[in-house]
Amino acid sequence: MRLKRDRQLCFDWTTPTSRKIVNEYRDRCKRISDLLDANPKILDLAHGDLRRLCEARPGTKSKRSTYTSENMLRAVIVHELEGTSFRRSCVWIAESETLRNFCRLGKRDVPDYTFLNKCFNAIRPATWQRINAALAQYATQQGRIDPSVIRTDTTVVEANIHYPTDASLLWDGFRVLARLLREARAMVPFLVPHRFHDRKVKKLYLFITRYASSPSKRRKRAVKKALRTLIGQVRRVAGIAEKYSASPALSVSIELKSIAVEIEGFVGTVWKVADVAERVHLRGEAVPGREKVYSIFEQHVELIKRGKKSKPVEFGHKVVLAETREKFITDYQVLRKQVADSALTDDVVGRHEKQFGSAPDVLAADGGFWSGRERIATLREKIGTVAIPKNVRDWATNILPVWQRFRAGVEGTISVLKRAFRLMRCLYRGFSNFVSAVGLGVFCHNLVSLADRGET
């Protein structure tokens, strides 16, 4: 059983100091804490997910957990605000009286970093959406934000993967499957009696990487031959892995079964990588980007081209943001499959209407959100001002440049999210955790934004 919060709070034993920067840090923590206390619905939403961590198995009696849901929610917020790893976050909370008081741990020991990680994983992406919506409703009711005027834009949050090439993906698939099969062979040798020749395969991969861009025709023929051999080796190890996963002998050991489950999570993607490499390099086909795989570890990642000279391609997911003039992000959406910005205009307005009960009075966005004259005319029937330019002639009016200067403010918010709230590159694995990381970053940004604008 996990309690939602402690009924009795501990005393604040923080030693007074004359250092201005320390006092500012403590004041900010107190203002954020007051915001959380003023929004009990946020804790209710988080408690609904966190209490599942200590649910007892059928037929057993549950024990009372050491930490409340409030302790763990605040610890996750500290982890995000400080921009540290789970390990370092636990150390900082343990060594800082201010952070201990913020998490309301009292004299209890700090939770282990693995448990903190489990708490982050337990809070679902949909819960972060509802938490942010609850904070937006509170800010609106208190008159802290004005949701009638919004600006929107898209950005890309990259996944934590290396730059994908066909050779590197083939090598990743080979070495991962070979490693898992060797683990199984160490327990039951007769299940995997094969040799894998890792050094030879790695030499093929390095040769292809080194000479893939060579203009020499002789080198090109050698690279093509090496690729054919590498693809054959990857197919061979994938076939061995499939045969192992289907073996009836796995039922005798839970360890062997767990390895088989892990192999099943990789082997389908490895086959796809080998097929794409063969089609591109051996048959000369042009394979569409949607049919390619960019990581065998983060299989949800997609390639995104936004026409930026400094970064022609990005590997991650597109994120849609909508914020008020107070720099409060009222809505966000992580797209599993990218779509053009012009197809998102109606969705942004619809989600705002659903959240606040009415469409905004002003919607400002860049030219990418232009969805055609008929669709914009329909939007203008619901929205007083649709500040989305189509071409240069639209700047001739006096109104549009004003709202476009207002729209440019969202670029600063995106920069803050990426630099201060770790949305430059998501370090969590899996699409669900990817969306949760974006939700946590947006929520902490909004907490700091409200806290810095004054007392609750």
Contacts of 283 (CB under 8 A, 6+ apart): none
Contacts of 325 (CB under 8 A, 6+ apart): 146, 149, 151, 406, 409
97 inside domain: yes
Mean pLDDT, residues 236-259 taken together: 90
What does the mean pLDDT of the chain come to? 91
Least confident segment among 139-153, 216-230, 241-255, 286-300: 241-255
3 inside domain: no
Single-letter amino acid code for the residue at 392? V
Tally of helices (H runs) and strands (E runs) in the chain:
16, 7
Classify residue 282 by its DSSP letter: I
Residue by residue, DSSP assigns 434-454 as HHHHHHHHHHHHHHHHHHHT-
11 inside domain: no
Handedness of CA 263, 268, 274, 276 (dihedral sign): negative
Question: In the chain, pLDDT over 90 holds for what percent of residues?
Answer: 75
Task: Give the residue from 419, 440, 400, 445 showing the smallest Cα distance to 76.
Answer: 440
pLDDT of 294 reads 96
Shared domain for 383 and 317, answered yes or no, is yes
Shared domain for 149 and 74, answered yes or no, is no
What is the DSSP pairing of strand 362-364 with strand 385-387?
parallel
Q: How many domains does the chain have?
A: 3
pTM beyond 0.85, yes or no? yes
CA distance 10 to 12: 7
Cα dihedral 374/375/381/386 (nearest 10): -110
Task: Give the residue from 269, 273, 266, 230 showing the smallest Cα distance to 245.
Answer: 266
Check pLDDT > 90 for residue 391.
no
Residue count of the chain: 456
Residue 316 sits in which domain range? 127-161+302-452
Query: If phi over 0 gives left and psi between -120 and 50 gives alpha, with beta otherwise, what is residue 301?
Result: beta
Contacts of 154 (CB under 8 A, 6+ apart): 318, 319, 320, 321, 341, 344, 368
Mean pLDDT, residues 69-82 taken together: 95
2 inside domain: no
14 inside domain: no
At 234, the pLDDT band (50, 70, 90 cuts) reads: very high
User: What's the CATH number where 342 sits?
Assistant: 3.30.420.10
445 inside domain: yes
pLDDT of 2 reads 73
| Helix (H) or strand (E) segment spanning residue 286 | none
Domain final residue pick, 257, 291, 325:
291
pLDDT of 62 reads 59
Q: Which residue reads 């849609």 in tokens?
A: 320
At 57, the pLDDT band (50, 70, 90 cuts) reads: low
CA distance 311 to 307: 8
Shared domain for 260 and 233, answered yes or no, is yes
**Helix H segments across 166-323?**
166-187, 198-211, 217-245, 254-277
Shared domain for 189 and 310, answered yes or no, is no
4 inside domain: no
Residues facing 315 on adjacent strands? 303
Shared domain for 156 and 172, answered yes or no, is no
Shared domain for 135 and 183, answered yes or no, is no
Shared domain for 273 and 307, answered yes or no, is no
Shared domain for 144 and 34, answered yes or no, is no
Shared domain for 148 and 216, answered yes or no, is no
pLDDT of 377 reads 87
pLDDT of 39 reads 94
pLDDT of 111 reads 92
Domain final residue pick, 93, 123, 153:
123
pLDDT of 456 reads 42
Beta strand spans in 121-175 (E) = 149-159
Task: Give the residue from 48, 55, 40 showing the smallest Cα distance to 69.
Answer: 48
Shared domain for 133 and 242, answered yes or no, is no
202 inside domain: yes
Shared domain for 118 and 144, answered yes or no, is no
Mean pLDDT, residues 187-207 taken together: 93
Domain final residue pick, 271, 291, 311:
291
Shared domain for 154 and 177, answered yes or no, is no
